[in-house]
Structure 1
Amino acid sequence: MSHRQPVRVADRHAFDTLIDARSPAEFALDHIPGAINCPVLNDEERHIVGTVYVQTGAFEARRIGGAMVAANIARHLRETLADRPENWKPLVYCWRGGMRSGSMVTWLRLVGWDAQQLAGGYKSFRRHVISQIDTLTPKLDLRVICGATGSAKTRVLHALAARGAQVLDLEDFARHKGSLLGSLPGVAQPSQKHFETRIAAVLETIDLSRPLYVEGESIRIGRLSLPLPLVAQMRGAPCIEVAAPPEARLAYLLRDYAYLGDDRDALADRLGALKELQGKETVSRWQQWAHEADLPHLFAELMSLHYDPHYQKSQELHFRAWAQRQRVAAGDLSDQGIEAVAEAVLKLA
């Protein structure tokens, strides 16, 4: 049975299922959105085949690897793919569009399915992601949501999205709230590549004639870096400042970061990073409050001594249009208050 020409990345949406034939570790690092993982070699098997290739040679590696690939494809046919109909049309990819995806396509076509192979594999998709970010970002009509710490900027984004506005939620993609205390308990950040994949997937769906709302971020969110074209576009974009009083912001932070009191030692440890900026005496007091789970005192001083004094200068440094920003007053940051802010932001557009 002859294979058709490999499929281009841009044509991947024409298929019923995307199958990633790489190992689970490769898949976890990054994959095409919506793909399912049907590895033809698992992580350990891939290591074994690589070792045999180095120590013994290509033929022995192919013989041993071939047996493993056949067994794994048989298992996928019995299990994951057992309920697929006769007219099912999958697109299969591996790292470079080589032997792993080729082997699976061969077997799926022998069964009778119209299976095809992605040209260039994951590497071609990765080039596509970078190209999409580079090409689409300068065309975006960005509106940057700014505000002092505790201004519920992320929740405002969610409220905007619920009203049909276009939103790019970078902190959701980064699995991090963007501040010193922004790591989420039990949630690891994704790889840099997967972060960029999530961004590109949104950009592909954007109507460039409509605004895209994004939270004002620094160049890094946790350990992840924003793509430089996106940083450049944000720096020149119009700013909308959510202006809420300190007491409203403190009340919001106590709700939004309540989980920090669950691991007091970890919280105190993270605060230690501020000793050089704030001095040992101040940070020791903060660490004591952390150990006591006294979040109201801790958050109030973090706002007044650490975050708020640098806020204005930071915004001026990061956003060229800061002086011309539009302000939306928020008397409170309750659920109803956040909804009112979102309504006011949309009226500005």
Structure 2
Amino acid sequence: MPATVAELPAFDEIIDARSPGEFAVDRIPGAINLPVLDDAERERVGTLYKQVSSFEAKKVGAALVSRNIARHLETWFADKPKSYRPLVYCWRGGSRSGAMTHILQKIGFAATQLDGGYQAYRRHVVAELERLPALLSYRVVSGPTGSGKSRLLQALADEGAQVLDLEALAAHRGSLLGALPEQPQPTQKSFESAICFALARFNPQRPVFVESESKKIGVLRVPAALIAAMRASPCIR
């Protein structure tokens, strides 16, 4: 039976079978990329599907997928024990993750496919970013640029406090100091995934320390429900 997003923590490893380009835009936190089609192969199969026929596309795609999965079997999966239990997903939970899951199961691994694939995960993130912010209590660290807010957050984290460092997740130092050198900001979807993952791990019985932020950090938008919860919370200057 396919697994749901709620069951993610139950698996030994999460495998993203999509192409590297799809993986770079966003993925489930902690997932590894073992593509069954690379970007060029995916484009080739898609073109055949649109311009020739689904039958021709599936013939070519099956050969490419088989070749790529064989390579992963000889490398990544080569030393996995029989008890290994991975979760595999692709864009919609269709042929790409289905092929890898099927072969892993035939070997004897307890592999499972994610129901609905990345699209189901993305819907989960969007829904959770509406729900989770209101369940937590925040202490908003405010003050002028250069006053040490980020250093305070790091010190609090070192002492075991719950800290949501939005600038670190956004790879940005705020409106005045700007972007980090030689480190591009993540995509909007990846930023939201990281926030969702962090919020889900916090204990609602303890406060979450967060730096005062505007609606945007660089080019990235902070989720509206989180901004609303922060603005309704007490500040530490």
- Same fold by TM-score, threshold 0.5 exceeded? yes
Gaps of 5+ in 2: none
Q: Which runs of 4+ in 1 moved over 2 A?
A: none
| 2:37 is aligned with 1:16 | no
Counterpart CA distance in 1 for 2:83 and 2:72 is 18
Q: 1:143 matched to which residue of 2?
A: 139
Partner of 2:227: 231
Distance 1:38 1:115 in 2: 14
Q: Equivalent residues in 2 for 1:303-314 (5 A)?
A: none
* Aligned counterpart for 2:89 among listed residues 68, 79, 93: 93
From 46, 49, 52, the counterpart of 2:45: 49
- SS of match in other structure, 1:204: helix
Note if 1:208 corresponds to 2:204. yes
Residue 180 of structure 1: CA displacement?
3.8
Unaligned ranges ≥5, structure 1:
242-349
Correspondence 1:125 to 2:121: yes
Distance in structure 1 (CA, Å) of the matches to 2:118 and 2:20:
14
- The alignment yields a C-alpha RMSD, in angstroms, of 0.8
1:1-40 alignment runs, 5 A limit: 5-40=1-36
The TM-score normalised by the length of structure 2 is 0.98
In 1, Cα distance between equivalents of 2:180 and 2:4 = 37
- The amino acid that maps onto 2:21 is A
SS in 2 for 1:84: coil
Given that residues 83 and 109 in structure 2 are in contact (C-alpha distance below 8 angstroms), is that contact kept between their aligned partners in structure 1? yes
Task: Tell me, in whole angstroms, the C-alpha distance in 2 between the residues paired with 1:136 and 1:184.
Answer: 28
| Post-superposition CA distance 1:63-96 (Å, at most 9, x none) | 0011000000000000111111111111100011
Q: What code does the residue aligned with 1:62 have?
A: K
Question: Hey, what's the Cα distance between the residues in 1 that align with 2:202 and 2:136?
Answer: 8
Higher helix share: 1
Write the mapping of 1:1-349 to structure 2, written as runs, cut at 5 A: 5-241=1-237
Structure 1 residue 134: Cα displacement: 1.1
Identity %: 54
Q: Deviations over 1:23-49 (max 9, x none)?
A: 001111111111111100000000000
- CA distance in structure 1 between the aligned counterparts of 2:235 and 2:11, rounded to whole angstroms: 40
For 1:137, give the aligned amino acid: P
Shift of 1:208: 0.6
Under a length normalisation based on structure 1, what TM-score does the superposition of the two structures give? 0.67
Return the letter of the residue paired with 1:77: L
3-state SS of paired residue (1:12) = helix
State how far apart, in whole Å, the 2-side matches of 1:175 and 1:189 are. 5
> Structure 1 residues 173-182 or 52-61, which shifts more?
173-182
1:121 is displaced (CA, Å) by 0.4
Q: Is the 8 A contact 1:92 1:116 kept in 2?
A: yes
Once residues 18 and 148 of structure 1 are traced to their aligned partners in structure 2, the CA distance between those partners, rounded to angstroms, is 41
Specify the structure having the higher radius of gyration (Cα). Answer: 1
Q: Cα deviation per residue 1:126-150 (whole Å; 9 max; x = unaligned)?
A: 1111222211111211110000111
Q: Does the aligned pair in 2 maintain the 1:174–1:190 contact within 8 Å?
A: yes
Matched AA of 1:91: L
Q: Conserved in 1, the CA contact under 8 Å of 2:145 and 2:176?
A: no
Q: CA deviation at 1:211?
A: 0.7
Check the 8 A contact 1:21/1:38 in 2, yes or no.
Answer: yes
Count of residues in Structure 1 that have an aligned counterpart in Structure 2: 237
Task: Name the CA distance, whole Å, in 2 between partners of 1:116 and 1:236.
Answer: 42
